Structure 1
């Protein structure tokens, strides 16, 4: 009887533990990845300002100093904590829900179940991510005091809501959901890497989570990157008189002005960022998740 009670308690704790572990994941990701993210967003949204990633790094450092790489850092510092808590917490609950309903007769959740849970988590976190990422992106593309529209995240939030209402904060929601549909590749490949590393290596659990997290994030970005470019174009558009009325119009604009290569502009810093940032984040998530359980 006491064993059943303990198991029930563990199951009831599963939901909030996933959210708490996700908070630690968000902190780790922001500390490691934000400078790479700034370079990525600048390359994605500028037309002819930079020749490539190294030129962007050089000009940012020369004109703005180290602080330039951390512009827009406050929204993700808070936002990624919230976003990863929602993403990884909902992922945990979607997995549990699928296991208890669709796959109740199986001992473990199959690969397709992990993919479905990943898509569900991606769509869920989009409602949190869309306004946070929009504020971050708008701050990241402020290059000098003359062109600066916002003094900080609160000012940016106030101006967007003042000119376009709450709807303005969610102007990039659809593009965010399209981008995060690719979570099926992330969490599907994460399950594959985790299983293979545990079966064929003698790595510790933390090391397995680190390598699986980094490798699966790389797989995700290979598939998701074009959608991320379109998302950034939508989010940095004018909130009052946007050039792109729809997501499809933004896709057409990128292709018309940059060609197919435009969908991969900024890909190098994104890939360089994806492994260390997400490896650290998922190692932190799994460590805290295991410790709390």
Structure 2
């Protein structure tokens, strides 16, 4: 599965790890999005209870079909690009792609991965968030305020044929009938550039975020190995991946809040003019604490999601390389 220095097995293993992590992490991802992009929940548990009461368990999986379907491309891109970039850096610096990468090499490959991943990750996240948020708007009372304190009369929502009774999380009360309809609606109203709304905030999140994802993973794996020549045990991979995920997601929360708000913004009407305007408006109306909204959810969901991701990736990679 190689061609010169380029390897495809990393892309295939990334697909397996990514798909499994979506199933594990999506329910809490929905909670995180509701907390960050909306206003009306007291805390994480209040959000969870509210979603379950109004939308049943299906509400936690709102918008999952699209990231699950596109995870083949996105996580293959992330892990495939990262691994190949790391090998290329080793070849350029040391003359051998198999030379062990130091932490600066891992950080460089990680940051390049974060930059490249936005090309596919921004549209995927945008559609996921729009689908996650549409049921949220449908079940809110008429006095509901979006994040930032801007009130919306629900009559405007009803004019878009949305229901205010919850509808169990879908059906005729939804603005978008599904991922493809959501994409078509965004492109029709906003053009192709509409699919990249929040892309700038995503770059600010993912370039340092992936460095704080892959570097801690490499450090923890080395610490948990019995010796330098031994491959890490599956449990060590699982633990290292989980810890790295929690660190990365918690530190990325401020920029993740901005990204989520920008991407959810056009659900009812445009409120933010860009990244800086979103930051200033959010700070003025809700204070600095707003940028840490959802941090506890990120810390909790980051562990099982990333633990599953790295374990699935490493075990799949071993399997593909055995042929």
Same fold (TM over 0.5): yes
Matches of 1:174 and 1:197, distance apart in 2: 36
Matches of 2:254 and 2:187, distance apart in 1: 28
Whether the aligned pair in 2 keeps the contact of 1:234 and 1:247 (CA below 8 Å) is yes
Q: CA deviation at 1:71?
A: 0.6
Whether the aligned pair in 2 keeps the contact of 1:34 and 1:70 (CA below 8 Å) is yes
1:115 aligns with 2:141: no
Matches of 2:94 and 2:291, distance apart in 1: 38
Which secondary structure does the structure 1 equivalent of 2:273 belong to?
Answer: coil
Unaligned runs of 5+ in 2: 139-161, 165-173
Q: CA deviation at 1:79?
A: 2.3
Whether the aligned pair in 1 keeps the contact of 2:245 and 2:305 (CA below 8 Å) is no
1:74 aligns with 2:65: yes
Q: CA deviation at 1:80?
A: 2.5
What is the aligned counterpart of 1:65 among 46, 52, 56?
Answer: 56
Aligned twin of 1:6: none
Whether the aligned pair in 2 keeps the contact of 1:164 and 1:239 (CA below 8 Å) is no
In the TM superposition, 1:276-287 aligns within 5 A as 276-287=304-315
Aligned twin of 1:99: 90
Whether the aligned pair in 1 keeps the contact of 2:26 and 2:64 (CA below 8 Å) is yes
Task: Kindly provide the CA deviation profile for residues 91-139 of structure 1, in whole angstroms up to 9, marking residues without a partner as x.
Answer: 0111011010024379411101001111111111110000010010011
In the TM superposition, 1:1-293 aligns within 5 A as 12=4, 15-47=7-39, 49-104=40-95, 107-142=99-134, 143=136, 144=138, 145-146=162-163, 148-181=174-207, 182-199=209-226, 205-238=233-266, 242-293=270-321
Aligned length: 284
Which secondary structure does the structure 2 equivalent of 1:236 belong to?
Answer: helix
Greater Cα shift, 248-257 or 68-77: 248-257
Task: Kindly provide the CA deviation profile for residues 28-63 of structure 1, in whole angstroms up to 9, marking residues without a partner as x.
Answer: 11110110000000000112x211111111111011
Q: CA deviation at 1:204?
A: 5.3
Greater Cα shift, 137-146 or 280-289: 137-146
Q: CA deviation at 1:151?
A: 1.9
Q: CA deviation at 1:10?
A: 5.3
Q: CA deviation at 1:239?
A: 7.1
Whether the aligned pair in 2 keeps the contact of 1:119 and 1:183 (CA below 8 Å) is yes
Matches of 2:86 and 2:50, distance apart in 1: 45
Matches of 1:278 and 1:51, distance apart in 2: 27
RMSD, aligned CA: 2.1
TM-score (norm 1): 0.91
Matches of 2:127 and 2:121, distance apart in 1: 10
- Aligned CA distance change for structure 1 residues 239 and 258 (closer, same or farther; 3 Å): same
Greater share of residues in helix = 1
Whether the aligned pair in 1 keeps the contact of 2:5 and 2:88 (CA below 8 Å) is no
